[in-house]
Structure 1
Amino acid sequence: MRQNTLVQMAQARLTQNKFLKVLPALILSLVMLEIGSVWAQGTSVGPSGYKVPRFVSLKSDRVNVRGGPSTDHKVKWIFRRAGLPVEIIQEFENWRRVRDSEGEEGWVFHSLLSGRRTALISPWQKPGTLLSLKEEPQNDASEVVKAQVNVLVDVMKCKNNWCQVSAQGRQGWLRANMLWGIYPDEVIEE
């Protein structure tokens, strides 16, 4: 009888150890399920009261990007251009986790971000490529000006998958899918 009890205890410990080994994977699965449901819905509301994810721009010519949401975390890199668009993908208190046009992620203090909407023209295309900005939001509209890829533009408005943008005193319309800093079908009004 004592031998059966020892066997039962050993089996219970083995089961417990297997459970402890599986527990992190189970927790990760539950977290991923929750993240998946947020993505399926498209957006959620962060602690700031604004939608997450969303695009914003940098307020300053020098913005530290940290490995975590506090000044205790090391600076991963420094943005050095005001106006660059970034995507807020998470919020924690006064910190925002952002993603840049190259897919890099890090944490930025909220006061270094602006609601001003900007975009980069097709940063994924070959440098030197030129795109036509149109007079009207139509493929067959007259060309107003050509713009190089990776040029930073101010977004004035977006509708029907077209955005009116301006840079260096020139403005025109460009398809929204040619801009990094705009969501598909996003509507922005002046």
Structure 2
Amino acid sequence: MLARQATLRTVYPDAPTGPHQQVLDPAAVPLDLTPVLADADALDLTLTTGFNVRTQPPVRIQLFRRGPDEHVIACMFHHIGVYGWFLAPLAQDLAAATRPAPRTGPRPGPMCRRPSGPHRVETATFGDDADTDSRASDQINYWTTELANMPVMLRIPVDRSQQISRVWMRNGSAKV
């Protein structure tokens, strides 16, 4: 699944010019599918630990053991790596990855989905931001002017914690 979904292997490290995309090799993405006992503390830790997309890919997968023959896989995704049209192929890849492997027959090949895919759509719609006559350049100039007097740090209320919803899959259905 990670080999086919490049956005799940992308980190955004800082550089002198600002953050940039860096697509990692699938083997470089930390993935440990050793089953962990499914107790409330382990589940809460997995579901509430945040992402640092500067250094970590926007995906976390943990396998929980609920019994001798019952396992649950928890998949957490940062919104920077999973969006709109990407959800359907991701769900298909996840379903294929959790199905017993066929003894014979072809394995799925790499997908055409790359972090540059959405950028290509944006470029086709807005033009190249280096082109001073493009819609992209107009938008950058507009928002640069509009946001010029914004404070460096916005005061965002933190008096409410983020709501976590838990999804348990059983026989192809989900309860939230």
Q: TM-score range by the shorter chain?
A: under 0.3
Q: If each structure's strand is expressed as a fraction of its own residues, which one has the higher value?
A: 1
- Which protein has greater RCO, CA pairs closer than 8 Å, 6+ apart? 2
TM-score normalised per structure 1: 0.19
TM-score normalised per structure 2: 0.20
